[in-house]
Chain A
């Protein structure tokens, strides 16, 4: 950089600095005229506080000395008179006292009494408490009206026990009167007012107002209300005063500093200062700008523009451009090194271009070789042809093998000669399309040399306009085509079969859309749709049961799901259905969807129910008949001997009462009685032997399974919904009994509860039957509890008696037979006597050995 340049720059710097400085000063002056008042408040506040602190700390030191002194040479006399003789205690603030350890004052100085009721104050008590703990305790009274403190020190004996407490009270109220107002500014209207409105200090202008009350002044009121605030109003400076107020608190109480000044005077002086300084700074800026412009244009800017234009050329790949600067200054050097950089750049770029070219060539060669290899080893046929006219340029062995042509024969052919399916026009438009899009994929048929044709799946890639070749891969799909046709035929057969089937069948895809349905299906489950194909099953039956959805999902993973009896509600009709869902497989052996067979068994089911009812009636009739027959036979067997006994005994009686009794005959009659009685006994035994003559067949089986089966049977046979809770013992060993007997008893006990419920107002859905099994002592004990109406107390004893019944059309043999069946099987059946709600039956059956 030349010397001239440096001088120019320096000048510019100085001017701009001066201008800025002038501007800053002007602004500051302006601000100052506003800020002064604020800082004045703060200064005043700080000053007042520091003055007080100075006084208070002096006072404290004095007290401290006093306390120590008292402690070292105290006697009662001194206490009483309050005279220590030093530090002006006698001047009115020597307030001290001596107290017992518990704080009761023994003696005190006279000024002590000036403190209003001091020993009842909290700070006094706190001081006594602290004195017990340490050496000298000092407690401030926080009351702003009475700024005072108490110092206390405990006197102790050799053992450290407190003997007495010395107390000194301090009254700081005098401090505020000591504030020195002499340092306040001499001009302006500055006032310091206490909380009661008394002017306690002021600037010299305010001297005549000192000790006057300002409560009546309007600005005082406003200042008190607004606190720290600057406002316009009527003040000591006149009507248009600007008044600033600041409240602060010191140890001596609350104070208010108020300043007022005439508004116009303040503003004018501030503005005139600002105007002058603004002009100075403006002139300094203009000068600076001029100097900078002149200098930079001459030495800097022109050459910068040169460099910029050369750089632009470089960006446009023009490596020939140079600046050719001969100047030796900084910028000249920059230009020369720039030129050198461009030279080096040009060289290196040329070299790199050469390298890239050779690399590209070798890459192309390798690529071609690879392509050829791929083409020759590919399992698919491969052709290269001219993209414009369709002329074959290259063919691989596989294609030759597939079509029977030799490579040389093919190279002279056109794609039009080979394609057996598409017309010349189609081929033409396809070529055009390939050129536009760049690729294609389609199926077609090519001629063979022998005349037969071959199905191909073709994928085509266009090389690009500069090479104009089309690469064609051809895959033989003759076999696949054949399979597809066969599959299509078999599927069509299946569809026809399903459509014509005399049962309800539907075939769905994986998403449960109808593929085909039988006529019967449309009729039963079509809900009025004529054509279901393509519709979704769940869209037609939105409320389809989750159970069926689960079945559908299971079928989709290969399971066959069937339900022998299922109650559906379709269109408001209750239907009993038997259905099967199974998957069907597509050509790839994958599950393509589900087939759904449904058989309406409502009629069969109803018939079954009716047959069941009839059978039950028949069984009951038969039971009654058998019971009647048995009773009749039994009656006959008994009546004969009974009649004979009655007659013999009546005859004997009459003979004995006659005048000449014939004792032989009487004996004969009585003998007859005896024989007939024996005969009756024999008859009874014969009947019992006859009834018991059949030996009971038994087997070993799982009682838990039997219970579960019985519940299913009852639920399905009666269409009853009642809740069952099973508490069956796990891995219960087999029992040995007659299975039919056990079934009969379980059925009887379970049915009793349900039938009892049917006779009451309680709905069956609230019927809970709890069945538990537990192993005990070589037996299995089964407990059946229902929450039905229970057994009435008067019936409990007769419950198991034959012919006792509470049912309208019962014969009262159920429980009697149940008990005898269980007893025959070596077990017991009884009613739980404790139960007061519902009925509980227990039955035991022996374990298998």
Chain B
């Protein structure tokens, strides 16, 4: 997670790109600049991490269109929008689509740096969640068919005795299965099991 310092600047104005890069570099970020959205999309993939500073008004594909594309592809990259004039409908639309922030030009440098910092933290968070989810999914897939069946009954809140009667097996067998399920999923108690099952 320590290498999550990537900032991608997408703006059609060269001076803007150059000045922002200088500013961000002073904070020690890794900065990559692009003069249009398409260029950025060619280097970007599922594994890319960092945050985007995006100009709203651009020829060809504009800011909101790029945001849509990124969401569509499922990239977890927070976006900070820059705009010449803040129009409320545009802002609302962008924020609803998951934009981190919407800043009006000219932007206070301090404010921008704070925003970038927040965006990178968000990015890290998203990455963590992704990894957790991935691990838990793997654990559930290790359960046998019978174990899975019993786990669902446990999660729905039935006691061992009730499960035994329902499945026509002995109380002892249910207890064995339950011990296996707890071991395989890594859940230490019933509540954790419920959380894992719900995912």
Interface residues in A640-698 (C-beta closer than 8 Å to B)? 640-651, 654-655, 658, 665, 668-669, 672, 675-676, 679
B26 and A640 contacting across the interface, CB-CB below 8 Å: no
A651 to chain B, nearest CB (A): 4
- Give the chain B neighbours of A665 by CB distance below 8 A: 22
A644 and B13 contacting across the interface, CB-CB below 8 Å: yes
Given A636-B84, A643-B105: A654 in contact with B19 (beta carbons within 8 A)? no
Interface residues of B (CB under 8 A from A): 13, 15-16, 18-20, 22-23, 25-27, 57, 82, 84-85, 105-110, 112
B23 and A644 contacting across the interface, CB-CB below 8 Å: no
Which 8 A-B residue pairings sit nearest by Cβ, starting from the closest? A650-B109, A647-B19, A651-B22, A644-B15, A654-B26, A642-B106, A643-B106, A651-B23
B105 and A642 contacting across the interface, CB-CB below 8 Å: yes
Pick the residue among A635, A669, A675 that contacts B85 (CB under 8 A).
A635
Interface residues of A (CB under 8 A from B): 632, 635-636, 639-651, 654-655, 658, 665, 668-669, 672, 675-676, 679
Given A636-B57, A647-B22: A641 in contact with B15 (beta carbons within 8 A)? yes
Sampled A-B contacts (20; CB under 8 Å): A636-B57, A640-B13, A644-B13, A644-B16, A644-B19, A645-B19, A646-B106, A647-B19, A647-B23, A649-B109, A650-B23, A650-B110, A651-B19, A651-B23, A651-B26, A655-B26, A658-B26, A668-B22, A672-B22, A676-B15
Report the Cα distance A522→B84, complex, angstroms.
Answer: 69
Report the Cα distance A639→B15, complex, angstroms.
Answer: 12
B23 and A654 contacting across the interface, CB-CB below 8 Å: yes
B16 and A640 contacting across the interface, CB-CB below 8 Å: yes
- Give the chain A neighbours of B109 by CB distance below 8 A: 646-647, 649-651, 654
- Give the chain B neighbours of A649 by CB distance below 8 A: 109
A646 and B108 contacting across the interface, CB-CB below 8 Å: yes
A205 to chain B, nearest CB (A): 147
B23 to chain A, nearest CB (A): 4
A644 and B18 contacting across the interface, CB-CB below 8 Å: yes
Pick the residue among A654, A668, A672 that contacts B15 (CB under 8 A).
A672
B19 and A669 contacting across the interface, CB-CB below 8 Å: yes
- Give the chain B neighbours of A639 by CB distance below 8 A: 84-85, 105-106
Name B's interface SS: helix
Report the Cα distance A644→B27, complex, angstroms.
Answer: 17
B82 to chain A, nearest CB (A): 7
Pick the residue among B23, B25, B105 that contacts A640 (CB under 8 A).
B105
B80 to chain A, nearest CB (A): 13
Report the Cα distance A193→B150, complex, angstroms.
Answer: 177
A632 and B85 contacting across the interface, CB-CB below 8 Å: yes
B107 to chain A, nearest CB (A): 6
Report the Cα distance A640→B110, complex, angstroms.
Answer: 18
Pick the residue among B15, B27, B57, B106 that contacts A675 (CB under 8 A).
B15
A679 and B15 contacting across the interface, CB-CB below 8 Å: yes
Pick the residue among A647, A651, A658 that contacts B16 (CB under 8 A).
A647
- Give the chain A neighbours of B13 by CB distance below 8 A: 640, 644
- Give the chain B neighbours of A646 by CB distance below 8 A: 19, 106-109
- Give the chain B neighbours of A636 by CB distance below 8 A: 57, 84-85
B22 and A648 contacting across the interface, CB-CB below 8 Å: yes
**Nearest residue in A to B20 (C-beta to C-beta)?**
A647
B9 to chain A, nearest CB (A): 10
- Give the chain A neighbours of B112 by CB distance below 8 A: 647
- Give the chain B neighbours of A676 by CB distance below 8 A: 15, 19
B26 and A635 contacting across the interface, CB-CB below 8 Å: no
Report the Cα distance A295→B57, complex, angstroms.
Answer: 161
A640 and B22 contacting across the interface, CB-CB below 8 Å: no
**Nearest residue in A to B13 (C-beta to C-beta)?**
A640
Report the Cα distance A212→B24, complex, angstroms.
Answer: 159
Report the Cα distance A654→B109, complex, angstroms.
Answer: 10
Supplied contacts A642-B105, A650-B108, A676-B19, 11 more A-B pairs, CB within 8 Å: A632-B85, A640-B13, A640-B84, A643-B82, A644-B13, A646-B19, A646-B107, A646-B109, A648-B23, A651-B26, A672-B22
Interface centre among B20, B27, B106 (most CB of A within 10 A): B106
- Give the chain B neighbours of A641 by CB distance below 8 A: 15
**Nearest residue in A to B109 (C-beta to C-beta)?**
A650
- Give the chain A neighbours of B84 by CB distance below 8 A: 632, 635-636, 639-640
Report the Cα distance A672→B17, complex, angstroms.
Answer: 11
Report the Cα distance A646→B107, complex, angstroms.
Answer: 7
Report the Cα distance A399→B22, complex, angstroms.
Answer: 130
- Give the chain B neighbours of A675 by CB distance below 8 A: 15
- Give the chain B neighbours of A658 by CB distance below 8 A: 26
B104 to chain A, nearest CB (A): 8
**Nearest residue in A to B12 (C-beta to C-beta)?**
A640
A643 and B22 contacting across the interface, CB-CB below 8 Å: no
- Give the chain B neighbours of A635 by CB distance below 8 A: 84-85
Report the Cα distance A435→B109, complex, angstroms.
Answer: 132
- Give the chain B neighbours of A651 by CB distance below 8 A: 19, 22-23, 25-26, 109
- Give the chain A neighbours of B20 by CB distance below 8 A: 647
